[in-house]
Amino acid sequence: MISAAADSRWVVLKFGGTSVSRRHRWENIGRLMSARQNEGLQVLTVVSALSGVTDALKAMAAQHGDAAAMAAGAEALIERHRGFALELGLASEFLNPRVDALRRLVSDVRAASGAFAWQAELLAQGELWSSTIGARFLASLGLDLQWLDARDYLTSREQAIQTDWSRYLSAICDPRPSVAIRDDLRARGSLFITQGFIARQPQGDTVLLGRGGSDTSASYFGALLGADRVEIWTDVPGMFSANPRLVPDARLLRQLDYDEAQEIATTGAKVLHPRAIAPVREVRVPLWIKDTERPDFPGTEISAESAAGAPSVKAISMRNGITLVSMESIGMWQQVGFLADVFGIFKRHGLSVDLIGSAETNVTVSLDPSDNLLDAGTLEALCSDLAQVCRVKVIAPCAAVTLVGRGMRGMMHRLSELLAEVGARRVHLVSQSSNNLNLTFVIDAADADGVVPSLHALLVRARLTGAEGDPVFGPAWRELEGLRPAPQPSWWHGVRPALLDHAGAGTPTYVYADSVIRARAQGLLDLGAVDRRYYAIKANPHPRILRRLAALGFGMECVSSGELAHIRQSLPELPLDQILFTPNFAARAEYQQALELGVHVTVDNLALLDDWAELWDGREILLRFDLGRGLGHHDKVKTGGEKSKFGIGLADLEQAVASARRAGAIIVGLHAHLGSGIFDVGHWKSVYSDLAALAERFPALRFVDIGGGLGVPHEPGEPALDLGELDAALAEVKAMYPRYQLWIEPGRYLVAEAGVLLARVNQTKRKSGAQFLGIDAGMHTLLRPALYEAWHEIVNLSRLDEPAAGRWQVVGPICESGDILGRDRLLPASAEGDVVLIANAGAYGASMASNYNLRGLVREVYDDSI
């Protein structure tokens, strides 16, 4: 017969230090316990010590030889807990047994040696205090609950490699679901509170479960009770695709399977301790991570279920303090058992190895400080033993950067940009886990700054993290924190009939909205620090755009005699002084023509001054410098840095001065343009100040041109460049160099958002589970996706309000496999003849279009009415 108790259902709630250190937090715990009880669940709450208490106890343990210091530490803790009891409105006498226990430990004979068994008992006091106070407080609120000593339920086991340190301070238990315990507890009541972090050896000594041990305790209890779930209550809404404090755009991970969560926790996320997963995984108890401040928010759910969706990189994390041990063979590498000997040495020193890279004559392994007691003594002893069999080199400090996602190997081809970014640093080791769940790079700790944010941005751009409609990814941290306003619908939502009319007249067609160009131009006109604005016509030389911008006071920047002629033809009235000629590797005749015409000419190669000396005598020109760095939305649009073909190197400054003098050229302007699609305001500030700092070498200097490159948001809701911030940054530099005019020459910023590409569906197709939407625009119409993996929003304009029906590969009609305009897009069921809109296509769209496959050049329409 099954007893009534046997079918009791349990939930384990765990609260960390900050969640138990304030009165309102305990009230919250009480509410949550009651709510779960009302759901018909038996509730066991596991608590950590009050914040800071475990650290204070550790400090006492470290002073074990100094009885007076320890006693002072103990009294301070006693005061703290009594004070907290008072804050909770409790008379503190009930704490007397805890006070006695702590004082006894201070005067314990084992304190003198600091024995690990004594340390464990001392450190266990924090949870015993907090759970005792909490139980009393919750009872005072009317909860009928029982206090349990966790050590009566959790028993540690011997580990395969057991040091005294791990036996007492980093113990492991093996709880199995126990009907007897469930029955027993059920008979005693339905609300319980106990301690995290502590357990007992079979022989009876108190032991600790290691760092983050309270999560592990909760998980152990979840397994022991065969709970419906374990809820870890913390101060963040769940696990994120990166540490949100470093990456505000990190996305909440709504759903993970045990393996993924394990990898993410193991490789650096601090929300959940890695040891907490195995116990629940074995018995398939789901584990939820919930935010104490937002109890109704769903958080992260970890279970055996794998979320459906396209392959994705769930998270990127970083661990610091990694030590690499590189072992070079000294002639005996092929010898049978050599690796066993080497690893035997690690084992003897109680060190667990994390990553391994091997070659014919070298094996390099990493040691993670969170798994190992890695003091200088241990390392030295290890190295001296290893030195008997190989040449040893320790590389430290290092950082391990890890990408986690199911099926990493299948995503490699989409990681090219990310690999390039990592490769710009000193990479010591690359490791791809054999479970196909992670890819790790070990780099110098000194190179680790900023690596996680930039890699996360690349993952988002490659649609490998947070792809549209992927159920795993919840809101970005930035949104949750209310930092980002709700996205405004793009302008084209409001003019759908007009756009459908334009498409009716023929596709593919670019449509440019006059009002959007005017608005962007106004933003730049409002930059008070800027004296002149030139429009880089390569972004879009449509004559109507040139006329609109010229009418608003913009000059024109061009890079070829073709562009120059086009400006003269479209804007015959434009003063020559308003034209900039900034070519790169152009023919001599092009310079000659521009100089004769009398526009501003920029030289970015000193050989021209020396070899074509007859061109320059008495001419006022600009020199373009490469400031040694490049920036931009893709490697292919970075126009600065060692390998870039643009500009004069800073090392050649003196030579530039001399060559210009010899050629008789008068340097009136300095120029730099280091890349395109930049959002960092500091970039232009530093370009400006770097160029201005060169000014004293050029006595006739009148202006500094800091180029273009102003980025536009790729997707709805992405924050735009803050022009106010840009203006303020430029004004700061201007205040230091008021003598020189400041010029800018943006292209994209003025026109990108103003343009949409309208195309029509030619065909749809299904193949091996993939769904293709074939439209009449392709890489010949919009090259950016193929060339830069640029992401453009794509919608079915004919069915704008219809729900998505699966993921589509949006492709063009060109006979090239790279002819893909958008991958895995969520679009409604679409059919031949539908009109598709591709957004943000006003810059470098039509201007880079071709007649490839003789498909004809794309149509363009400039619409004054929108």
Q: How far is the CB of 682 from ligand LLP (least distance, A)?
A: 17
Q: How far is the CB of 656 from ligand LLP (least distance, A)?
A: 18
Provide CB contacts within 8 A for 351, sequence distance 6+.
367, 372, 374, 378, 382
Contacts of 424 (CB under 8 A, 6+ apart): none
Confirm or reject binding of residue 780 to ligand LLP (CB under 6 A).
no
Q: How far is the CB of 751 from ligand LLP (least distance, A)?
A: 8
In contact, 743 and 704? CB cutoff 8 Å: yes
Nearest distance in Å: CB 752, ligand LLP: 8
Per residue, the 3-state secondary structure of 158-184, as one string, reads CCCCCCHHHHHHECEECCCCCHHHHHH
Six-digit token pair at 371?
A: 């798994």
- The span of 1-9, 249-257, 393-401, 740-748 binding ligand LLP (CB under 6 A) equals 740-748
CB of 32 to ligand LLP, least distance (A): 51
Nearer to ligand LLP, 533 or 673 (CB): 673
Structure tokens at 276: 């907490």
Pick 236 or 750: Cβ nearer ligand LLP: 750
Quote the least distance from Cβ 632 to ligand LLP, whole Å: 8
- Whichever of 118 and 535 has its CB closer to ligand LLP, that residue is 535
Among 688, 749, 808, 862, binds ligand LLP (CB under 6 A): 749
* 741-744 and 666-671 strand pairing: unpaired
Annotated active-site positions, please?
Answer: 815
CB within 8 Å of 337: residues ≥ 6 apart: none
* Tokens coding 29: 């715990």
Taking the least distance from each CB to ligand LLP, the nearer of 666 and 710 is 710
Distance CA 466, CA 468 (A): 6
Q: Report the nearest approach of ligand LLP to the CB of residue 373 (Å).
A: 51
Q: Count of residues binding ligand LLP (CB under 6 A)?
A: 22
Told to check if 123 binds ligand LLP by CB under 6 A, we report no
Contact 479, 462 (CB under 8 A): no
Handedness of CA 275, 281, 284, 289 (dihedral sign): positive
Q: Which of 428, 734, 748, 807 binds ligand LLP (CB under 6 A)?
A: 748
User: Mask 815-844, x = binds ligand LLP (CB under 6 A)?
Assistant: ----------------------------xx
The alpha carbon torsion through 382, 384, 385, 389 (nearest 10 deg) reads: 120
Binding of residue 244 to ligand LLP (CB under 6 A): no
Q: Which of 238, 147, 302, 136 is closest to 476 using CA atoms?
A: 238
Residue in the structure block whose two tokens are 């890079």 = 559
Closest CA to 322 of 272, 259, 395, 378: 395
User: Interaction with ligand LLP in 676-735: which residues (CB under 6 A)?
Assistant: 676-677, 707-710
Q: Is 245 left (phi over 0), alpha (psi -120 to 50) or beta?
A: alpha
| Per CB under 6 A, 555 contacts ligand LLP | no
Q: Is 784 in the site for ligand LLP (CB under 6 A)?
A: yes
Judged by beta carbon, residue 258 or residue 844, the one nearer ligand LLP is 844
Q: How far is the CB of 642 from ligand LLP (least distance, A)?
A: 18
* Residue closer to ligand LLP, measured from CB, 221 or 788: 788
Give least dist CB 744 to ligand LLP, A. 9
Min dist CB 788 to ligand LLP, Å, is 6
Select from 220, 227, 153 the least CA-distant residue to 184. 153
Q: Residue 545, interface with ligand LLP (CB under 6 A)?
A: no
210 alpha carbon, distance to own chain's centre? 28
- 8 Å CB contact between 634 and 788: yes
Smaller CB separation from ligand LLP, 539 or 758: 539
Q: Does 774 bind ligand LLP (CB under 6 A)?
A: no
Nearest to 317 by CA among 398, 196, 401: 401
Distance separating alpha carbons of residues 217 and 214, to the nearest angstrom: 5
Residue type, 29: I
Q: Does 746 bind ligand LLP (CB under 6 A)?
A: yes
- Cβ proximity of 756 and 717 under 8 Å: no
Stretch that binds ligand LLP, among 29-37, 286-294, 747-755, 813-821 (CB under 6 A): 747-755
663 DSSP 8-state letter: H
Q: Tell the smallest beta-carbon distance from residue 553 to ligand LLP (Å).
A: 18
Note whether 784 and 539 are within 8 A (CB).
no
Smallest distance, ligand LLP to C-beta of residue 559, A:
7
Query: Measured between alpha carbons, how far is 124 from 196 in angstroms, rounded to an integer?
Result: 9
For residues 53 and 558, which CB has a smaller minimum distance to ligand LLP in the complex? Answer: 558
Residues 510-539 that bind ligand LLP (CB under 6 A): 536, 539
In terms of phi and psi (left: phi > 0; alpha: psi -120 to 50; beta: otherwise), the region of 155 is beta
* Span 645-674, contacts to ligand LLP by CB under 6 A: 673
Q: Which is nearer to ligand LLP, 288 or 684 (CB)?
A: 684
Over the window 612 to 641, marking each residue x when it contacts ligand LLP by CB under 6 A and - when it does not, the resulting string is: -------------------------x-x--
Q: Using the rule CB under 6 A, is 463 a contact of ligand LLP?
A: no
Read off the tokens for 746.
């943006």
Q: Who contacts 481 (Cβ-Cβ below 8 Å, separation ≥6)?
A: 248
Residues 6+ apart with CB under 8 A from 283: 177, 222, 223, 226
Kindly give the interhelix angle for 451-461 and 416-423, rounded to the nearest 10 degrees: 160
Nearer to ligand LLP, 354 or 557 (CB): 557
Closest approach of ligand LLP to the CB of residue 633, in Å: 6
Candidates 6-14, 156-164, 385-393, 743-751; binding stretch for ligand LLP (CB under 6 A):
743-751
CB closer to ligand LLP out of 746 and 755:
746
DSSP, res 307: P
Distance CA 783, CA 790 (A): 9
Name 764's bridge partners: 773
Query: Helices 125-140 and 67-87 sit at what angle, rounded to 10 degrees?
Result: 20
Q: Which of 121, 727, 745, 834 binds ligand LLP (CB under 6 A)?
A: 745
Instruction: Report whether 420 contacts 249 (CB < 8 A).
Output: no
**Under rule CB under 6 A, residue 747 binds ligand LLP:** yes
- Our CB check for ligand LLP shows the closer of 30 and 778 to be 778
Residues 558-597 within binding reach of ligand LLP (CB under 6 A): 582
DSSP count for the chain of H helices, then E strands: 28, 37
Q: How far apart are the first and last CA of the chain?
A: 77
Exposed, middle or buried, 178 (CB in 10 Å: 0-12/13-18/19+)? middle
Is 792 a binding residue for ligand LLP by CB under 6 A? The answer is: no
Looking at the Cβ atoms of 539 and 814, the one nearer to ligand LLP is 539
Which stretches of the chain bind ligand LLP, using CB under 6 A? 536, 539, 557, 582, 637, 639, 673, 676-677, 707-710, 745-749, 784, 788, 843-844
